[in-house]
Amino acid sequence: MSDGRKTQLTINRVKVSPDGSTTVDRTKSFTAMLNPTDVKHERAIRYNTRMTLGQVGSETRFSGVMPDKVDFTLLLDGTGAVPTESDPGEVADQVKALNNVVYTYDGSEHQPDHVRVLWGTLILYGRMQSMRVEYTLFKPSGDPLRAKVILQFVGFMSTKEAELLGNRSSPDLTHVWDVREGDTLPLLCMRIYGDPGYVVDVARFNHLDSFRRLEPGTRLQFPPLE
């Protein structure tokens, strides 16, 4: 169960291996100063409704599952009016830090990196689709003091995951999770398996002496369901 502490929305760089497994890069992370006031999470199914010449009606035929989309707005503030545990720096620096996580092109991969968006029960692995920065307050010098950043992310699904999604009887993929402050094993099992009842199995698999308190930074593996 949650202990009621506030958690900040975080965006991390993610490396995707050829087998489709993901590893979160904790060194490349952006934490929201203020959590968004609303988040839009879109899911869609595509159908083929093409009609032939002379056809009276069209049959809706399943074509595919579209990747999830998530969009939200973050507020960046450099006035000092927002209380924070550490100095967030100038707004321009905050925008640059966000860019380094979600936008920077990876020359070795010849594409932007994948990211993980995490806040509460929201977990999305994907890539940034669009980012718009609106500066709303300025210093006399013209340097920005406040900005709104409108972000949209499109979900990522490996070929292996797509195959598993199409075959409901298949076991799930192995997930790797780096424990954060406030994480509990029942909550993580609920997020990954949709059922907190796998706590004992996951604790045994990871050789945990106790599952009641998880040490932040611990890397856990959540194996496929039997």
Query: What is the 3 state secondary structure string of the chain?
Result: CCCCCCCCCEEEEEEECCCCCEEEEEEEEEECCCCCCCEEEECCEEEECCCCCCCCCCCCEEEEECCCEEEEEEEEECCCCCCCCCCCCCHHHHHHHHHHHHCCEECCCCEECEEEEEECCEEEEEEEEEEEEEEEEECCCCCEEEEEEEEEEEECCCHHHHHHHHCCCCCCCCEEEECCCCCCHHHHHHHHHCCHHHHHHHHHHCCCCCCCCCCCCCEEEECCCC
CATH number, domain of 182, equals 3.10.350.10
Residues 20 and 65 in one domain: yes
Which tens digit of pLDDT belongs to each residue from 113-133?
A: 899 998 887 888 899 999 999
- Report d(CA 115, CA 128) in Å as an integer: 8
Query: Is residue 150 a part of any domain in this protein?
Result: yes
Among 144, 170, 196, the domain boundary falls at 170
Residues 109 and 179 in one domain: no
- Report d(CA 182, CA 35) in Å as an integer: 17
**pLDDT for the residue 107:** 67
**pLDDT for the residue 41:** 92
Residues 210 and 136 in one domain: no
Q: Can you give the pTM of this predicted structure?
A: 0.66
The pLDDT mean for the chain works out to 81
Query: Is residue 52 a part of any domain in this protein?
Result: no
**pLDDT for the residue 44:** 87
Residues 183 and 162 in one domain: no
**pLDDT for the residue 216:** 84
Query: Is residue 225 a part of any domain in this protein?
Result: yes
Which tens digit of pLDDT belongs to each residue from 137-151?
A: 999 999 999 999 999
Query: Is residue 129 a part of any domain in this protein?
Result: yes
For 19-39, b/e burial (b = at least 16 CB within 10 A) is ebebebbeebbbebbeebeeb
Residues 115 and 86 in one domain: yes
- What the block records as the tokens of 70 is 């998530």
Going by pLDDT thresholds of 50, 70 and 90, the confidence category of residue 157 is low
Query: Is residue 131 a part of any domain in this protein?
Result: yes
**pLDDT for the residue 59:** 65
Query: Is residue 56 a part of any domain in this protein?
Result: no
Among 153, 170, 187, the domain boundary falls at 170
**pLDDT for the residue 188:** 87
Residues 160 and 179 in one domain: no
Which tens digit of pLDDT belongs to each residue from 169-213?
A: 344 556 778 888 778 888 888 877 777 888 888 888 888 877 778
- Report d(CA 70, CA 44) in Å as an integer: 12
Going by pLDDT thresholds of 50, 70 and 90, the confidence category of residue 36 is very high
Residues 80 and 66 in one domain: yes
**pLDDT for the residue 19:** 66
Residues 151 and 178 in one domain: no
**pLDDT for the residue 196:** 81
Residues 22 and 128 in one domain: yes
Residues 132 and 143 in one domain: yes
pLDDT (average), residues 63-69 = 80
Domains of the chain: total: 2
**pLDDT for the residue 81:** 87
Domain boundaries, position 215: 171-226
Residues 74 and 151 in one domain: yes
Query: Is residue 53 a part of any domain in this protein?
Result: no
**pLDDT for the residue 2:** 43
Residues 29 and 126 in one domain: yes
> Is residue 60 over pLDDT 60?
yes
